[in-house]
Structure 1
Amino acid sequence: MAEATQGEATIVGGRYRVMPEIRLEEFDRTHIEAFAVEDMRDRTRSLIGLVARRGRPVRDEWMSAIRRIDQPGLLRTIDGGVVDPGDGQGKRYAVIMERPQGGRVMDWLRAEGQSLDDLEMSRLLLRPLATALKAVHDVRTAHRAIAPDNLYFVDSARTRIALGDCLCGPPGESQPVAFESVERAAAHPAGRGDGGPREDFFALGALFAAALARKVPGTESPEAAADLMLRRLERGSYVALTDRARFGSDVGGLLRGLLSDNAEERWGFEEVRAWLDGRRSIGAMHSTRPQAARAFTFKGVDHSNTMSLATALAQHWREALRVVIEEKLDGWVARAIGDERRGSMIAQTISAGRTDGGAGADATLARVLAALDPEGPLRLRHVSVMKDGLGTLIAVSFLDDDRDTRQALAEMLVEGLPITSLGLVDTNDAQRRRLAQSEMAEFMRLRGFVAETIMGFGLERVLYDLNPTLPCLSPLVADAYPQTVPALLMALDQRAAKAGRGTAPVDRHIAAFIATKLGISYAGALKGVVRQDSEASERLSQLNLLSLAQETQPQVLVPALSRWLVQRLGPVVQSYGAKTTRAWMEKELERAVSTGSLNALRAIVDNPDRRMADDSGMAAARTTHAQLGMAMRRYDETRAARRAEAQHFGRQVAAMVGYTLLLSVLAALTFGSVG
């Protein structure tokens, strides 16, 4: 039985069986493990399964679009789904692809392809890859995984090349820093953002340059990468990435177009196709970053543009704010760069913000850097992220349990950093202004999520909002990889058997996941459901939230989860005053468990009419109790008074009787003596 279960756990699309026992390590990449795959309907096919390592978000929302593409320059994506390789790390996402037969192209170039000249290289690489990228862009996505270790010979004769997978990981994360546009290269690898066609064609140009040189610049060491970045910022990407390379002027013109730091002037498919067809124009070489009339010197390095300086300041965070203030950065931007608008914004930011250290000072510096380099990444302490890369970096920070990065990302949203750079959009550009306004509204919405502290919101709410196909990351269910509400409920039902009474079935991840899937966009909608003012209300809120989730999927019955919840509902039952009501609830809850309906449980313990009747009964009981108490006190008081009166009367009677007896004795003595 166990074998059958494991077999089912490795089948994708009911047809493709990932074989964990057959590793294909030669196809491994960063954060990806490769396995053999069997097509159970056609065992002659040669397939490969790429499984994302634990803790990596994937781009599975693009699977349906990518699998429809059939282009020679792109390895065919067959299918994708969740599998369990049986290595104890739980379920993960797998992409099924055709298996390349000729190895990696860059390995061949270094070992055997030395004789290819520039034009032969362009025919080998550019035409199939440019056409493949065009097909990817036509379905409104970007590849964003163009790297030497992801370029293969499709056939064993090594006549056809193709790009590999683009779904198993955040966009841009696996690309060398030299293959990213200069703005995105300055960001955290997992926060480089979605990008688009222009980013893909920059990477294509960098790949072509690396193939010509048979090496990838900046990969030797972290210091080499930092040096490359500085040269790119100061001299431009084309010069930095082709330094000392020897090739013909025609190829140089092509690379100038592809490696332009101006995204608007960067070559795309049409320009590359024209060049390949013999219409050899030359791309622009200048950078769009205004060069300063006077360099700004920081840490002994002269910076001639704002992005170069912003990158350097972010790398030396603790010193940066003092330098910004003392060196009058706003004046340098206004005069040396010639941008009075940005200079004024920087001056206002410094004047309005805290500059005396601490979190407030961090926010001030972050806003200054956002104004200094509005096209670059958002920067706060050690974190640097593109605006469209926030979602993936938040996901990685949760998956890696990186609390410092999570804190910085939350502060970015609370402080409204994305809005700072958007405020610098050219007011004369109507299209960009409308786009900026739309993005501002989106970030304001996310800011509201972070600012709300109740379960269902916070940074967890942003996490699932920006990553709609991400599975719930709660430790309770993460191994099951639940991506939908039904899958979450079933995962909790399976988890229930191992859960003790002290384990809550709802945490912040589960609450945020459900709130996202149910489209609950404001905290007020949950305040009647998620309450934590007492143990009873907290446990009732867990039932209520899960019940709301099940209402959308009534066919999903969860008897084990029901039992788990009932075992924890003791404080809720005890919160009712009537003994008969509590006894009835306990009996009905036991009866409802077997149905697997959470709404049935909720109807028993959270019925407004029953609660009102119980409250009314308790109020009446309290009133009766008070009245009886008063009556008893009056009775006690009356009895005490009667006792005192009786004692007083008794004393009087006793006195009279005693006096009478005394008179009788005296009379007897008197008459006796006379006689």
Structure 2
Amino acid sequence: MVDTENKLDSDFESGSNLEENKLTEASSARTSEQNSRASAEINADIITSQKPIPLIKIDAKTPSNAIERYEVYPSLPLPEYDSGIAKAFTAIDKMQPDLLLFCLICYPNVPIRLDELRKLSGRSVGHNILVENYGNLDWPLHEQQCLGIIFQRPTGQSIDKYFKSEEFSDQEKLEKAKLILLSSISALRNLNKLGITHRSIRPNNVFFSDSNGEDIIFGECVTTPPGFSQSLELETIERGIADEGSRGNGDVSDDIYAVAATISILLQNTDSFTTFASEQISFNKIIKGSFNILVGERLKSQKISKVLEGMLQDKIEERWNLNDIELWLGGETIAPRVYTKETRASQGLTFDGIEYFTKSTLAYSMSQNRSKAVEIIKSGTLTKWSERSLKDKVLASKISQVTDDTMVQKDRAKYADELLLSKILIVMCPTYPISYKNILYTLDGFGSGLAIELLRGGDAKTYTESVSLGLLNFSFQLSSNDKIKNEDRIEIANQINRYLQKAGPGFGVERCLYELNPGCPCQSPIIIKENIFFSSMLLPTLDKIAGTTNTQKSPVDRHIAAFIASKINDDLEQYLSEIGDFDKSIQTLGMLKLLVHIQNNSSSTHLLGLAMWVGGLMAPAIRIYNSRKLRKDIESGIPQIIRNGNLGELLKLIDDPSHKEEDQLGYQTAMNEFKEAEETILKTETNSDPESEVAVKTSRQAASVLSILIMIFISSLILLAN
């Protein structure tokens, strides 16, 4: 047995660079030959299957023929390529039918890694599966548009099937473990050049790219948020503690950890870790260390154990990097390392019936039993233990200061206990996720956590509260010595807070959702089933559904306003402000102006359906005019403009400055005429009063005339009498 083990270990001391180059050079030739042999069998299945579903472009800038050449067969599933919640189906490229392809159907209520997908699509990234293309499909299972991602199919099987097979010896499996390590160096370096972390490395997502098992590729990493589909064995302590949607992008060290965890599971040929409750796995890692939980002394090869120990170190600064792994594979002597352990207290602190000797185990348990945790903070027990037993006066001082500062913030009284506990946990373990009420998220996982909560129909109030209370900023200030990086992060946190403080359309939690999650499709009930990721497809989609939706409502709701604001870099503040105005006419014009702005900056020129929809909502905007004739003229001009499908012409008609000037002049003229008429009427009414000056004067004049007439009459009578 000893001789066999020594032989196995010695096999790991060969050079790595030469082998890596040979693997890369041989891969293409083998794959091409194997694809040709397999394509005939697949074509036979396709002939007898149900009608395929073509891909549809999700970005108007993409040529349709570049996407619609791909077809997916819902009756031909490929479960061996399923990735978490994304299910795999047979796909073909009509222009290259001999290519072996499969399509992963992304789940509608989970955001994807769109930025990473765009970087990887159509690009050969060594030792990573090739993304051919992507687009939407009318997927019957979900009864809506779903994103489908087309991948080149690995010719070989998944690694976990190989290791579970009894056909192969321990030595052969150890050699494949070495192959995984060798391939991971290339795979992760190539991803790192693109600014991408994988975050989905697991036993069933690593494949042989050839049927001979001589080359390895890592599977997809874009269908879910980072770490979403990972079991806790594969996640570092910090990211495993976080909620599944809030684990964050991380960096290459997180992927190195996942590679080591994957190899440890494969070599032990066990799934036993997954039978533990999640809190047990994380807590055991905290107590004993990841290496002891995942590997310990259970492997036959001490040399493979050594590299896994380095890769599974829980302190990032002590974890092996890619260069260390490469040196080890090349047979270089790695200087002995002493891995530090967490400081233990001289006396334990009893919390919830258990005695704790380290701050990390105590902090984890405090996050699980929050009411009792607040008690030991307020009573001063935690401060005293930190100073006297843990011998950490700096920590004790911070706990005391945070407690005092938080308790005097009367404006946050109703949040005081939760805010206090959250801050204390950050002080105790700055690298751990933010723990507020019932949520846990890493500093780079807030956005995806918020998205998962909203897309699943949950309440995002807890997430928004944590930001409004300053927990992100507080954590950023303590989490790293990288001043520049933290300043950028703090600015992002401040920006999130500004969005949350504005209640109008285009802001609020909806704005945060789209700003922080490029891979989240627009969640407006109007277009949610259309799975819209890009603003370029917004107007064509609204135009398409105009005949089947309720056109009595505005086509711009809160989600669409926020989606537009996050996707377009232009200053849209005025339009958004008008849409949120209380005056219905201002709202309507603001909506039209926003849509016109989008149309003017896109290739969408003829939008008959949308023009009819919007044109039917213009009554409030037309009522701003005083002239009935002008209103009728505008109303009569709308049908002709609608037929052209140009929203800009509609805006010009309704919001025409010359019309406004004409209406204002007419209104002023009418007002002047009305004023004159009113004065005349008033004057007439005033002069009709018997007591008025005019009436008295007229009466006097009449009396004088009458007196003269009487005198003349009397004089005439006298003359006649004489």
- TM-score bracket relative to the smaller structure: 0.7 to 0.9
Contact 2:318 2:339 in 1 (8 A): no
CA distance in 2, matches of 1:172, 1:207: 14
CA distance in 2, matches of 1:96, 1:619: 66
Equivalent in the alignment of 1:439: 489
1:214 equivalenced with 2:269 (yes/no): yes
Alignment of 1:427-576 (within 5 A): 429=481, 432-520=482-570, 524-526=573-575, 528-553=577-602, 555-576=604-625
Contact 1:559 1:594 in 2 (8 A): yes
CA distance in 1, matches of 2:483, 2:546: 51
Alignment of 1:60-139 (within 5 A): 60-67=114-121, 70=124, 73-112=127-166, 115-117=169-171, 119-139=174-194
CA distance in 2, matches of 1:57, 1:532: 32
How far the C-alpha of 1:455 sits from its partner, in A, is 0.6
Pick the aligned partner of 2:96 from 42, 45, 52.
Answer: 42
Alignment of 1:146-545 (within 5 A): 146-216=201-271, 218-221=273-276, 223=277, 225-243=278-296, 245-279=298-332, 281=334, 284=337, 286-287=339-340, 289-354=342-407, 358-403=414-459, 406-424=460-478, 429=481, 432-520=482-570, 524-526=573-575, 528-545=577-594
Secondary structure class of the residue paired with 1:497: coil
The alignment of Structure 1 onto Structure 2 pairs a total of residues equal to 643
Secondary structure class of the residue paired with 1:29: coil
* Counterpart AA for 1:500: N
Q: Aligned pair in 2 of structure 1 residues 345, 566: CA closer, same or farther (>3 Å)?
A: farther
Contact 2:622 2:631 in 1 (8 A): yes
Contact 2:53 2:137 in 1 (8 A): no
Contact 1:557 1:595 in 2 (8 A): yes
Contact 2:399 2:427 in 1 (8 A): yes
Which gives a bigger RCO, structure 1 or 2 (Cα 8 Å, sep 6+)? 2
Contact 1:342 1:424 in 2 (8 A): no
Equivalent in the alignment of 1:31: 85
How far the C-alpha of 1:207 sits from its partner, in A, is 0.7
How far the C-alpha of 1:217 sits from its partner, in A, is 5.1
How far the C-alpha of 1:145 sits from its partner, in A, is 0.6
1:143 equivalenced with 2:198 (yes/no): yes
Secondary structure class of the residue paired with 1:278: coil
How far the C-alpha of 1:184 sits from its partner, in A, is 0.8
Structure 1 window deviating more from structure 2 (3-12 vs 348-357): it is 3-12
Structure 1 residues 218-253: Cα deviation after superposition (integer angstroms, max 9, x where no partner): 4114x2x21121111122211222246243332221
CA distance in 2, matches of 1:4, 1:159: 37
Alignment of 1:570-609 (within 5 A): 570-607=619-656
CA distance in 2, matches of 1:625, 1:339: 86
Q: Aligned pair in 2 of structure 1 residues 494, 423: CA closer, same or farther (>3 Å)?
A: same
CA distance in 1, matches of 2:376, 2:665: 68
Secondary structure class of the residue paired with 2:511: helix
Q: Aligned pair in 2 of structure 1 residues 68, 544: CA closer, same or farther (>3 Å)?
A: closer
How far the C-alpha of 1:123 sits from its partner, in A, is 2.6
* Counterpart AA for 1:302: E
Q: Aligned pair in 2 of structure 1 residues 232, 4: CA closer, same or farther (>3 Å)?
A: closer
Q: Aligned pair in 2 of structure 1 residues 91, 634: CA closer, same or farther (>3 Å)?
A: same
Normalization by structure 2: what TM-score?
Answer: 0.81
CA distance in 1, matches of 2:662, 2:154: 72
Structure 1 residues 629-668: Cα deviation after superposition (integer angstroms, max 9, x where no partner): 343233223224289979x98xx99xx9xxx9xxxxxxxx
Secondary structure class of the residue paired with 2:135: strand
* Counterpart AA for 1:544: K
Q: Aligned pair in 2 of structure 1 residues 302, 247: CA closer, same or farther (>3 Å)?
A: farther
Secondary structure class of the residue paired with 2:650: helix
Structure 1 residues 122-158: Cα deviation after superposition (integer angstroms, max 9, x where no partner): 3343222333223222332111111122123333444
Contact 1:253 1:282 in 2 (8 A): no
Q: Aligned pair in 2 of structure 1 residues 424, 62: CA closer, same or farther (>3 Å)?
A: closer
Equivalent in the alignment of 2:682: 633
* Counterpart AA for 1:492: L
* Counterpart AA for 2:236: S
CA distance in 1, matches of 2:367, 2:670: 68
CA distance in 2, matches of 1:497, 1:477: 13
Secondary structure class of the residue paired with 2:283: helix
Equivalent in the alignment of 1:664: none
CA distance in 2, matches of 1:38, 1:362: 53
Structure 1 window deviating more from structure 2 (504-513 vs 327-336): it is 327-336
Q: Aligned pair in 2 of structure 1 residues 340, 566: CA closer, same or farther (>3 Å)?
A: farther
Q: Aligned pair in 2 of structure 1 residues 425, 393: CA closer, same or farther (>3 Å)?
A: closer
CA distance in 2, matches of 1:561, 1:421: 46
CA distance in 1, matches of 2:383, 2:597: 53
Structure 1 residues 577-606: Cα deviation after superposition (integer angstroms, max 9, x where no partner): 211221122122222212222222222223
> Which consecutive residues of structure 2, in runs of 5 or more, have no partner in the other structure?
1-49, 58-64, 711-722
CA distance in 2, matches of 1:261, 1:162: 26
How far the C-alpha of 1:353 sits from its partner, in A, is 2.7
CA distance in 2, matches of 1:4, 1:599: 41
Equivalent in the alignment of 1:668: none
How far the C-alpha of 1:344 sits from its partner, in A, is 3.6
> Which consecutive residues of structure 1, in runs of 5 or more, have no partner in the other structure?
661-675
Structure 1 window deviating more from structure 2 (416-425 vs 155-164): it is 155-164
Equivalent in the alignment of 1:55: 109
Q: Aligned pair in 2 of structure 1 residues 113, 559: CA closer, same or farther (>3 Å)?
A: same
Q: Aligned pair in 2 of structure 1 residues 81, 293: CA closer, same or farther (>3 Å)?
A: farther
Q: Aligned pair in 2 of structure 1 residues 137, 444: CA closer, same or farther (>3 Å)?
A: same
CA distance in 2, matches of 1:100, 1:353: 56
Structure 1 window deviating more from structure 2 (524-533 vs 483-492): it is 524-533
Contact 2:448 2:517 in 1 (8 A): yes
Secondary structure class of the residue paired with 2:579: coil
CA distance in 2, matches of 1:346, 1:610: 67
CA distance in 1, matches of 2:249, 2:144: 27
Contact 1:79 1:97 in 2 (8 A): yes
CA distance in 2, matches of 1:87, 1:9: 17
Equivalent in the alignment of 2:40: none
Q: Aligned pair in 2 of structure 1 residues 8, 93: CA closer, same or farther (>3 Å)?
A: closer
CA distance in 2, matches of 1:469, 1:104: 27
Q: Aligned pair in 2 of structure 1 residues 206, 4: CA closer, same or farther (>3 Å)?
A: closer
Q: Aligned pair in 2 of structure 1 residues 536, 175: CA closer, same or farther (>3 Å)?
A: same
Secondary structure class of the residue paired with 2:546: helix
CA RMSD of aligned residues (A): 3.3
Secondary structure class of the residue paired with 1:91: strand
How far the C-alpha of 1:185 sits from its partner, in A, is 0.9
